[in-house]
Amino acid sequence: VNGRHVFTSPGRYEVTLTVEDDDGSTDTNSVFVTITDVGPIVKLEADPTPEGEIALLDASGTEEPGDDLVAFRWDLDGDGAWDQEGTCSSLEVVWNEPGMYSITVQVEDEDGSKASKSMTLLISDVAPQVDVGGPYTVDEGTPLEISGAATYEPGDDFTVFKWDVDNDGKWDVEGLEDEITWTFDVAGIFTIRLYVEDEDGSSGEGTVEVEVIDLDPVFTIVMPTNVMENAPANFTLADLSDPGTVDFVVTWYFGDGQSASGVTVEHAFPEQGTWPGRVTVEDNDGTVVNALWPVQLQVTNSAPVVELSETVLNAVEDSQFTVSVFGHDTTNDTVTYSFKGAGGKIDPQTGVFKWTPLDEHVDKQKFTFIATDEDGGEGTLEVVIHIEDVDNDFLGMSTATGLALVVVMVLVLLVAILIVARQRGMIGGKDDDEDVIEAERKVDLHSEVEVDLAGPKPEAVATAAPVTPKPEVAPPPAAPPPPPPEQAPPRKKPPLGPDGKPRKRRPPPLGPDGKPRKRRPPPLGPDGKPRKRRPPPLGPDGKPRKRRPPPLGPDGKPRKRRPPPLGPDGKPRKRRPPPLGPDGKPLRRRRRPPPEQPPV
């Protein structure tokens, strides 16, 4: 008879066999059986796992006859120390670094029996998983934050971040920062590339697109509201800015067919009126902004500038005075001329003014000359013409006229006396007894005319000598008539230009205010009156000396003066200041006494 039994725990056991027959008789026999302890049979399984992922360590297949396992101990890094203890037969572990790891598990049953098993686990390297975020949209000129913080690497052991912002193959930013801030100055769509490398030498790349929105330039038009025609006016763009690169092309359109380029320009309008204009601004992205002027520019007509052909206005009484009036118009309009004043006339087309001052006029007369252009603009010039008075000493006539009349009357009287004397001689005949040419009286005329030019009235004195009988003698010749009075030299005609018309005088120089400069007042003397000019030196003949003619050169023309010496700066040297006296004033030079003049 055989029997089977499995003892699950070690120890000494008594086994008793009892046999019973059919008659009920029994017999018993016992034996002792010693059951020895059997240790656990450990089974450990684990698959190769990438870094950062869960590795399953399975020891659940461990066998133990008594099924009385009480402890599992794990050494995960092979250092001989238990990293984890418990009753779990399986363990989940994450390794963040790649490599070969030695793993040991120890199993203990309730009888204190222990068993261990070791294995080597491969943790493979994992490349970084780059995440640049996005997509992004931003206005040009606005900073954009680009983040690569979502980039994954199990060990989180990045060694470098490289950023290529414009995708040109060159790294724009390098470092350990996983975020950057970048400003795009040009509109468009850009691809950003991020390269990441960890300490194991693994690397990864990622890209993202950025849309940069173009913004219009911002500016303010600064311009005048009212200008004179043909006068320069300034136009400028103030506060000109663009979120992107400041690179503009500015074009101004003035409404008169003209245009100019630049942030600040200058323009003159040829005619009066209202001029609407505009300005265009193009940035570096090709965006063009058109803007009308905030106001309509009003151009006002410029009145002609009136000038005269003469600067010194002196007229002579009873003589015609002539001067030409010129009206300079900025737009070359046709100008007509008129005037205000007593007497005279002016040609409205040519501007020639003629006037004869009469005796009743005062020593000066005021006139206002007016030049009017086609647009109605009037320019005026008020002048004073000084009149040179001529004395009326004889019969209410001038001295020259009266003197000429006296001379004529004296000549007439002499001729009349001569005629009368001859007629008497012809009537009386010749006496037979006396060879006398004339029978009665014969007037021997010897007239003298004395004219006192210094006195108020000229006097003519004629004296007749008594006639005495003389032998036949020819009558004395008549006295020659006095020379006619000197007449004033005729006025010089103004020089003519290439067109055969009188040349216009140069306009006077203008001052900073745009008006003709005033002449300097003459220097005043101690009495507060203008100093008189020194009389020119006289020669031996009592007349003013003539200036010495300039020396002539080899070409027969006057030599040119030497240019003044130049200083280190290339400009003419200034004369040394005169020496100063004890009173701080310049010393006066001693002048030679004038040469004695011979008596005249």
pLDDT in tens, 557-597: 888 877 888 888 888 888 777 788 888 888 776 666 666 65
Q: What is the DSSP letter of 149?
A: T
- Superfamily assignment of 305-388 in CATH? Immunoglobulins (2.60.40.10)
Contact 327, 373 (CB under 8 A): yes
Q: Residue 426 corresponds to which amino acid?
A: M
The residues spanned by each domain of the chain are 1-124, 129-213, 218-300, 305-388
pLDDT score recorded for residue 450: 40
* Residue 546, both tokens: 């003539």
365: pLDDT confidence band, cut at 50, 70 and 90? confident
User: How far is Cα 506 from Cα 160, in angstroms, rounded to an integer?
Assistant: 81
**What integer best gives the mean pLDDT of the chain?**
77
* Residue 374, both tokens: 């086609």
Where b means 16+ CB within 10 Å and e means fewer, 558-595 reads eeeeeeeeeeeeeeeeeeeeeeeeeeeeeeeeeeeeee
CB-based burial label for 65 (10 Å; 0-12, 13-18, 19+) = middle
400: pLDDT confidence band, cut at 50, 70 and 90? low
- Superfamily assignment of 218-300 in CATH? Immunoglobulins (2.60.40.10)
Minimal CA–CA distance to 590: which of 599, 578, 598, 600?
Answer: 578
User: How far is Cα 364 from Cα 370, in angstroms, rounded to an integer?
Assistant: 20
The shares of helix, strand and coil residues in the chain, as percent rounded to the nearest 5, are 5, 40, 55
pLDDT score recorded for residue 447: 38
Contact 280, 307 (CB under 8 A): no
Fold of 129-213: Immunoglobulin-like (2.60.40)
Q: Concatenate the DSSP letters of all residues of 210-225 into one string.
A: EEEEP---EEEEE--S
User: How far is Cα 96 from Cα 51, in angstroms, rounded to an integer?
Assistant: 5
The H or E element that residue 405 is part of is helix 399-428
**What is the end-to-end Cα distance of the chain in Å, rounded?**
198
449: pLDDT confidence band, cut at 50, 70 and 90? very low
Contact 36, 45 (CB under 8 A): no
Which range, of 8-22, 42-56, 175-189, 559-573, averages the lowest pLDDT? 8-22
Fold of 1-124: Immunoglobulin-like (2.60.40)
